[in-house]
A and B are shown apart, each in its own frame.
Chain A
């Protein structure tokens, strides 16, 4: 499994990995000003919400975890270096999400739910809304350009919510073929989505 940036890279300055203030010679820091917090929110809120939705599969739980993370950002965000503040925010939010999920007794069921079956309403500005519509149009166009074999697998997996095993049985193809088709389709679609990122 590929390992990404190590934990030390995203650890906030003046904090230990446990989240408690370190007792070393860290400089006294002042809390982040509201403008910085607002900027942090504007920049990362939607991405953070999607990430939390991917972990929790529940819009309300994701919203709660996000709110808790933002509260911590107000209280402790100043302890994170500017360049790692986003990673710090995501890590704090992730721990909040796990804490939320531990309180649930249906973790397995949550993890077996496809995230696109969770209805969400994102709060977004007019510019974000326009960008999202543009992305949606680009994805639709890219979907239409896909070979029919790939479209069929995407449709069965996402619209009809069949598992890959069920798709393979339905289309009478090996499981590996179904996986490869989906993977190829996603790679193509993601390239389109990345092109149209704001």
Chain B
């Protein structure tokens, strides 16, 4: 297969083609005559075998052109399918608005309509049962917490209550830290104005 009539075909290439089975019968016979007498040719053949085996064991080769084209085609089909699906859902919502959701308008005030629809979908806090409303301002004391726990019938271990009490104690405001007096931190013999002027 390889062009053996090239004026300067190197021995490495010839050895590789021999190892690859790319030489025809005559070319292979010629190379084998060389192997019979030339130690350099033998070592090149051994090196060609080693190299081709290393390459064959390497999984990091770039994909061939065709498979990559196929991958791109698959991606194109996939994105087309996703676009069609999104379009179908959009049309379905527009043509069949009786599913309890108001169709969204695409007029100039589209953003306002979207915000209004979102606000309408929220539950009215006044209609929410009182026991489900979370009072963020509630500063329940540990005793009140205990009462809630006992009402729920939860069996909370003492160590957990102790840990909670410890956390609360740790988060209690401490005395205000005294401000640092930077004048006191400066050494007495530090730079003064006269030193700066001398410099």
Contacts and interface: CB of A to CB of B under 8 A. Distances in A.
The answer to whether A binds B is yes
Interface of A: 1-7, 9-10, 47-48, 50-51, 53-55, 57, 86-87, 90-91, 94-95, 98, 108, 111-117, 120, 135-136, 139-140, 143-144, 148, 151-152, 154-160, 163-165, 170-171, 176, 179, 183, 186-187, 189-190, 193
Contact of B51 (A3, A108, A164, A186): A186
B3 interface: yes
29 contacts: A1-B34, A2-B11, A3-B38, A4-B34, A4-B40, A5-B37, A5-B40, A7-B36, A53-B49, A54-B18, A54-B19, A54-B46, A86-B39, A87-B42, A91-B36, A98-B32, A111-B21, A115-B48, A115-B53, A136-B54, A139-B58, A143-B60, A152-B64, A155-B64, A164-B1, A179-B2, A179-B3, A186-B51, A190-B12
B63 A155 contact: yes
Contacts of B48: 54, 115
A interface, over-half SS:
helix
Interface centre among B13, B25, B52 (most CB of A within 10 A): B52
Given A2-B11, A143-B58, A156 B18 contact: no
Interface string B115-132: 000000000000000000
A115 B62 contact: no
B69 to A, nearest CB: 12
* Size bin of chain B's contact surface: 35 or more
Contacts of A163: 1, 22
B152 to A, nearest CB: 62
A5 B11 CA distance: 13
B50 to A, nearest CB: 5
Given A154-B61, A179-B3, A135 B54 contact: yes
A171 B16 CA distance: 21
Contacts of B30: 1
Contacts of B21: 57, 111-115
Contact of B12 (A87, A116, A186): A186
A186 B61 contact: no
A120 to B, nearest CB: 7
Given A111-B23, A154-B61, A4 B28 contact: no
Interface string B71-99: 00000000000000000000000000000
